[in-house]
Chains A and B, each alone.
Chain A
């Protein structure tokens, strides 16, 4: 090829680039903004301008630069994959470049995870120097997040779905839910209700389940098959990198259960896949409904207890919040006559038997407690020995609270009881 031809080719290529990337318009808009504002510090201003106007694009560049620099500083250590979750906020353009700073700091934190606090501080200095001049302060503000509001009316009106599953399927889902940090705190009833609401999604080889950047709606558990996880590559060429393959028993997309955020990765079926999905609204409705029902049931129990009859609604709800679930097997002894007690119990499922020992050494049944009955309330007032032994007759579930917790959250029961006694007239 002749020199002239080569030149022409380069020219054409440059021109093509200018047009493709809309460089002209970009510069016009920057100059326009500068002239409109006439900033003292035009360079900082331009940087801010670009950050503000193109949060997504500016962030990617800085991120990858930061990452390179951090690697060259040798601060990267441990597991830097981020695949366990699938939402990465830089995928949506309306979220500002908060992550720039976070990425820098993340590397810091990770590096500190495997070293002492001392080295964390010393690395911190480096990273600050590294990131400060490059990233305008303003671009680092953190955005608030918010879920859609679900009113109590919606909750009251909504019918919970029950989707049929085999026993094996139900067991697998329960295990997945139990092992998920965000769902493991749910009680048995909640886990069951959520499991029942999960619906089946089937995909065949190559089909996209979720797409990076799309709004998140569902959380998924894999029943059967493989799911490949990809993250868009950050270089200018585009394309995406496979970061992980998930399989039966794995789950993904839990951020979608919290609020609407763009997906952080793309998940594609590898072969035939069966998934169980749960959407955010159903999840929230279930959680609200079960939580409110439980709170209501607890405060209904409490209202009927003589010792709490003077309590305000707020105080009853506060007690309800301190109550813990306790389960006992048949024959288990919950408290023993003569021992010091510090817990108060309400039976909410099953039966408990109270016995008292007689002078002749035998013990006699004095009461049977059914749901709504309570025992041990004296323990909230004094640490007198238990007056009877209480044993579970069959499977028994109770709510309970200890004296210290009660005192911390409500103050001494004594003081509350005294409120209803008029002060002496002297």
Chain B
């Protein structure tokens, strides 16, 4: 996807809401000049400032710009970014198959092969991100989308960060947070491999391994790290899951000398053809049904918001002046 010449939301026909996030919505949009379709992520500056997330949004933009140069097949590409008084707009490649989350919840759980197909793509995503010293920090089904062929695309780089070694700010999603993050002793690339373990488990069981309505209870379970597997959990998958959900960072797969290779060569992936996967030559287990390339029916219907945006308030200089 080539960068797009545009600097205003007026260059787009803005369509249906595809999803909502903490600071606004993501809408389907058509660039009127080129008739290309995009996902337009609109972030309300006011809310971003209010929840102290200006730095995270700036880093999201910077990381997406960096990543878009490589056009990784499993990472959303960003074509443009601009702002007006109320909003930041990120013009992102639209991933039309819908949310991975919805497919997983509808299926309740995935069979071994299906789970492996997606897990393998996540391995390649993290391998790529880590090679650039980027950690992602918020893997969960909610942040994965399916493209028209049924391959994954990871989205939402809100917590991604360029970290050569360690960083300290606690963030993530309660069910997916690694023990070293909770203990606040500094964390690095290892957190992503932990979240891969949680994702594998959630795909194969239907729920994540540490679960409670109360986050503190989840965190207690994480620190105790007692894993229970269902009978149907594949043995090789189980041994890899355990290697990933290892609190000891000198033992967790992915964090060791061989990096992602320990995971890629684990028995669960014995039959995975990594090159074919990266070239998207494998048959996807779920293929979204699409009538056209503007068919957004795989996304849920969201009530369109009618409220007017309010410009942000801030003391001192505009925090987005250099955006």
Q: Which residues of A contact B (CB under 8 A)?
A: 32-33, 36-37, 39-41, 44-45, 48-49, 52-53, 82, 84-89, 99, 102-103, 105-106, 108-109, 112, 117-118, 120-121, 124, 128, 137-138, 140-150, 181-182, 185, 254-255, 258-259, 261, 264, 283-284, 287-288, 291-292, 295, 314, 317, 321-322, 405, 407-411
Give the one of B172, B224, B250, B256 with max A CB within 10 A: B250
B320 at the interface (CB under 8 A from A): no
A145, B171: Cα distance in complex, Å: 6
Nearest B residue (CB) for A415:
B257
- Chain A interface: which of B7-15, B27-35, B144-152, B181-189? B181-189
A140, B306: Cα distance in complex, Å: 23
Contact of B251 among A49, A106, A408 (CB under 8 A): A408
B228 pairs with A112, CB closer than 8 A: yes
What distance in Å separates the Cβ of B118 from its nearest Cβ neighbour in chain A? 18
- Chain A interface: which of B208-216, B264-272, B286-294? B208-216
A405, B140: Cα distance in complex, Å: 30
Question: Given that A82-B217, A87-B214, A137-B102 are contacting pairs, would A144 and B230 also be in contact in the complex, using a CB cutoff of 8 Å?
Answer: no
What distance in Å separates the Cβ of A410 from its nearest Cβ neighbour in chain B? 6
B229 pairs with A117, CB closer than 8 A: yes
A227, B184: Cα distance in complex, Å: 28
B303 pairs with A52, CB closer than 8 A: yes
What distance in Å separates the Cβ of B28 from its nearest Cβ neighbour in chain A? 14
A259, B229: Cα distance in complex, Å: 31
Per the CB 8 Å criterion, the residue count for chain B at the interface is: 61
- Sort A-B residue pairs by CB-CB distance and give the 5 closest, nearest first: A85-B216, A146-B171, A147-B170, A411-B257, A102-B213
Question: Given that A36-B306, A146-B159 are contacting pairs, would A106 and B213 also be in contact in the complex, using a CB cutoff of 8 Å?
Answer: yes
A144 pairs with B250, CB closer than 8 A: no
Give chain A residues whose Cβ lies under 8 Å from the Cβ of B20: 52
B223 at the interface (CB under 8 A from A): yes
Give chain B residues whose Cβ lies under 8 Å from the Cβ of A284: 168, 184
What distance in Å separates the Cβ of A286 from its nearest Cβ neighbour in chain B? 10
A137 pairs with B300, CB closer than 8 A: yes
A-B contact count (CB 8 A): 168
A378, B52: Cα distance in complex, Å: 50
B220 pairs with A150, CB closer than 8 A: no
B184 pairs with A287, CB closer than 8 A: yes
- Interface CB pairs A-B, < 8 A, 28: A32-B306, A40-B301, A52-B302, A52-B303, A84-B220, A86-B216, A89-B215, A103-B213, A120-B230, A121-B230, A124-B206, A137-B106, A140-B105, A141-B101, A144-B138, A144-B172, A145-B170, A146-B159, A148-B52, A149-B169, A182-B183, A185-B183, A185-B185, A258-B182, A284-B168, A287-B168, A288-B184, A409-B255
Question: Given that A146-B159, A146-B169 are contacting pairs, would A255 and B215 also be in contact in the complex, using a CB cutoff of 8 Å?
Answer: yes
B314 at the interface (CB under 8 A from A): no
A184, B244: Cα distance in complex, Å: 23
What distance in Å separates the Cβ of B41 from its nearest Cβ neighbour in chain A? 15
What distance in Å separates the Cβ of A373 from its nearest Cβ neighbour in chain B? 24
Give chain A residues whose Cβ lies under 8 Å from the Cβ of B165: 314, 317
B303 pairs with A36, CB closer than 8 A: yes
Q: A102-B211, A149-B52 are in contact. List 13 more A-B contacts (CB 8 A).
A: A84-B216, A87-B214, A109-B212, A118-B231, A140-B105, A141-B101, A143-B173, A145-B215, A182-B223, A185-B185, A291-B168, A321-B250, A408-B257
A49 pairs with B182, CB closer than 8 A: no
Question: Given that A144-B172, A145-B174 are contacting pairs, would A37 and B304 also be in contact in the complex, using a CB cutoff of 8 Å?
Answer: yes
Contact of A37 among B186, B212, B216, B301 (CB under 8 A): B301
B212 pairs with A106, CB closer than 8 A: yes
A52, B304: Cα distance in complex, Å: 11
Give chain B residues whose Cβ lies under 8 Å from the Cβ of A181: 220, 223-224
Give the one of A108, A128, A138, A407 with max B CB within 10 A: A138
Digitize B128-151: 1 where CB-to-A-CB distance is under 8 Å, 0 elsewhere: 000000000010101000000000
A317, B214: Cα distance in complex, Å: 35
Contact of A314 among B164, B169, B223 (CB under 8 A): B164
A244, B169: Cα distance in complex, Å: 33
Give the one of A53, A106, A140 with max B CB within 10 A: A106
Give chain A residues whose Cβ lies under 8 Å from the Cβ of B300: 48, 137-138
Give chain B residues whose Cβ lies under 8 Å from the Cβ of A410: 257
What distance in Å separates the Cβ of B233 from its nearest Cβ neighbour in chain A? 9
Contact of B207 among A105, A254, A317 (CB under 8 A): A105
Give chain B residues whose Cβ lies under 8 Å from the Cβ of A149: 52, 55, 169
B155 at the interface (CB under 8 A from A): no
Q: List residues of B (227-284) whose CB comes within 8 Å of A's CBs.
A: 228-231, 249-251, 255-257
Give chain B residues whose Cβ lies under 8 Å from the Cβ of A105: 207, 211
B168 pairs with A288, CB closer than 8 A: yes
Nearest A residue (CB) for B142:
A141
What distance in Å separates the Cβ of B291 from its nearest Cβ neighbour in chain A? 15
A15, B306: Cα distance in complex, Å: 29
A264, B303: Cα distance in complex, Å: 30
A398, B13: Cα distance in complex, Å: 66
